[in-house]
Amino acid sequence: MTTIAIAGAGQAGAALAAKLRGLGFDGRIRLFGAEPVAPYQRPPLSKKYLMGEMGVDRLLLRPERFYSENRIELALGRPVTAIDRDAKTVRAGDEVVAYDHLVLATGASPRRLPAAIGGDLPEVHTVRNLADIDRMAPAFRPGRRLLVVGGGYIGLEAAAVAAGLGLTVSLLEAAPRILQRVAAPETSDFFRALHRDNGIAILEHTGLERLEPAHPGLTARLSDRRVIEADFAIIGIGVAANDALAVAAGLETGGGIRVDAMGRTSDPAIWAAGDCACLPFRGAMIRLESVQNAVDQAEAVAANIMGADVPYDPKPWFWSDQFDVKLQIAGLNAGYDSVAVRHGERANARSHWYYRGEQLLAVDAMNDARSYMLGKRLIERGISPPRGSVAAPDADLKAYLG
């Protein structure tokens, strides 16, 4: 009997196992997860789950009976710890399991502050899994003081939730502006104003020298010699691919676990999908950190294991909820050289359209689902309206779709 072992029981691992059964795979599926809970959604963790609006049962991607009914063997709390490529086995706990195909869906982990500058203080948290949220949840009480380190989407979302719960929030960003790595200045300006209007103190171009214990809480010493007192801190300075298994097994890595367009690693019996995978896109090797990519790539890998032999063609999209703003992103803006701003029908609705030369690359849409859907369709079809038309609010961009 053919055995497919999946290392990682997150969004990608669960989607891959389900797709294999949906495609008619009749062999053995072993799904190994590091956490003691069945596969669950991560985006609601720092929002509805933290705020008490969603329990663990509603976080689950599928009821636990789904796995037994579909003969998917869940091994929870038992991560894969080693791969023997010659023997085609993996080790999980005290068990050695033979595989015909192995899929690495190990995800990514938050980058942490070095212990030397206070990264291991008990009041310092990261946002990634259930245990992280359960550990920090008691600190989210009105009047408490939160320091957020990092002005990317993770940090901004954490800040927005905290402010909404009545905490006093300060956010540090070492770069000249928030969202500098992932968005245009226009998008940074929009979210800076949003957060400041909701009482959050944003300090840009300001580094963190160190965190020190205080009673209560902690003291943050900043690069400009200012000092911030806080009860606890959340670190949102990005994530790194969980590629240690691949490195130890001698697979090709670099920015993640490197795969070809089919999802194969440098070992033809081993595949990778989700946040840990570094895949070809527009002539470069990139990682796509999103639920959408985790599911789509995992399902593509499942099909290719079954013999489809069809390259995965990413169609990136992302989202972020902050206060009363829903940000929807279509495409990837890497390499853009200009931005067209389009105002929506409502006062707080707008979109930013990224161009490289005359080519439309991506769209950031704030409270403007119509522009998001239109931009997404245009990008996927390779159609680029002139920037002047995009900036004209009365222009009918739908006409470019034919």
pLDDT digit string, tens, across residues 338-368:
999 999 888 889 999 999 999 999 999 999 9
Q: pLDDT band at 202, cuts 50/70/90?
A: very high
Query: How far is Cα 49 from Cα 392, in angstroms, rounded to an integer?
Result: 40
Residue 180 in this model has a pLDDT that exceeds 90: yes
pLDDT at 282: 87
pLDDT at 356: 97
CATH topology classification for 3-109+240-305? FAD/NAD(P)-binding domain (3.50.50)
- Superfamily of structural domain 324-401: FAD/NAD-linked reductase, C-terminal dimerisation domain (3.30.390.30)
Token pair in block for residue 55: 């329990």
pLDDT digits (tens, 9 = 90+) for 48-85: 898 888 999 999 999 999 999 999 999 999 999 999 99
Q: What is the pTM of this model?
A: 0.95
CATH of domain 112-235: 3.50.50.60
pLDDT digits (tens, 9 = 90+) for 303-316: 999 999 999 999 99
pLDDT at 332: 96
Residue 210 in this model has a pLDDT that exceeds 90: yes
Average pLDDT over residues 169-182: 97
Query: How far is Cα 246 from Cα 252, in angstroms, rounded to an integer?
Result: 7
Average pLDDT over residues 171-192: 98
Q: How far is CA 273 from the centre of its chain?
A: 13
User: Which whole-number Å values give the CA distances from 106 to 11, 13, 145, 229, 396, in the listed order?
Assistant: 10, 8, 34, 36, 44
pLDDT digits (tens, 9 = 90+) for 246-273: 999 999 999 999 999 999 999 999 999 9
pLDDT at 52: 85
Q: In what order do the strands lie in the sheet with 284-286?
A: 257-258, 277-281, 284-286
Q: Which residues of 255-284 are buried (b: 16+ CB within 10 A; e: fewer)?
A: ebbbbeebbbbebeebbbbbbbbbbebeee
112-235 matches 324-401 in fold: no
Concatenate the DSSP letters of all residues of 124-191 into one string.
Answer: EE--SSHHHHHHHGGG--TT-EEEEE--SHHHHHHHHHHHHTT-EEEEEESSSSTTTTTS-HHHHHHH
pLDDT at 226: 96
> Which helix (H) or strand (E) covers residue 109, if one does?
strand 108-110
pLDDT at 402: 78
Query: How far is Cα 104 from Cα 41, in angstroms, rounded to an integer?
Result: 19
Query: How far is Cα 229 from Cα 111, in angstroms, rounded to an integer?
Result: 23
Query: How far is Cα 226 from Cα 169, in angstroms, rounded to an integer?
Result: 16
> Which helix (H) or strand (E) covers residue 207, if one does?
none
Domain segments of the chain as ranges: 3-109+240-305, 112-235, 324-401
Query: How far is Cα 303 from Cα 15, in angstroms, rounded to an integer?
Result: 12
% pLDDT > 70, the chain: 100
pLDDT at 346: 83
Looking at every residue in the chain, the average pLDDT score rounds to 96
Query: How far is Cα 389 from Cα 402, in angstroms, rounded to an integer?
Result: 16
Query: How far is Cα 274 from Cα 106, in angstroms, rounded to an integer?
Result: 8
Which of 127, 163, 112, 141 shows the shortest CA–CA distance to 322?
Answer: 163
Of 218-222, 237-241, 344-348, the poorest mean pLDDT is in 344-348
